[in-house]
Amino acid sequence: MDNIVKKVCKELGITQKELAERLGVSKPSVDRWAGSNEIPESSKRLIELLVENEKLKKELNEIKTALNILNKYSDKGC
């Protein structure tokens, strides 16, 4: 089984310390989860929500970029 902590840190491009800060938990807790892969269910859910939030932010930025492009061309009368 893949370690969720290591997978999420790699996916988000963050360190375990940064993950701890984003989750509002101690770094030793995250270190323990990374070493044992035994994570409390509430913390697993929090990690899942963090990943989902990051994906939604990325999608929103892509939509904003697309809208800016569309607005740029509609302003030119194309």
Residue range 14-50, pLDDT digits in tens: 999 999 999 999 999 999 999 987 899 999 999 999 9
**In angstroms, rounded to a whole number, what is the distance separating the alpha carbons of residues 62 and 18?**
24
**In angstroms, rounded to a whole number, what is the distance separating the alpha carbons of residues 22 and 64?**
25
pLDDT of 76 reads 74
**In angstroms, rounded to a whole number, what is the distance separating the alpha carbons of residues 12 and 19?**
9
The model's pTM is 0.77
pLDDT of 1 reads 54
**In angstroms, rounded to a whole number, what is the distance separating the alpha carbons of residues 56 and 18?**
19
**In angstroms, rounded to a whole number, what is the distance separating the alpha carbons of residues 48 and 33?**
14
Residue 2 has pLDDT above 80, yes or no: no
Q: What's domain 4-75's architecture?
A: Orthogonal Bundle (1.10)
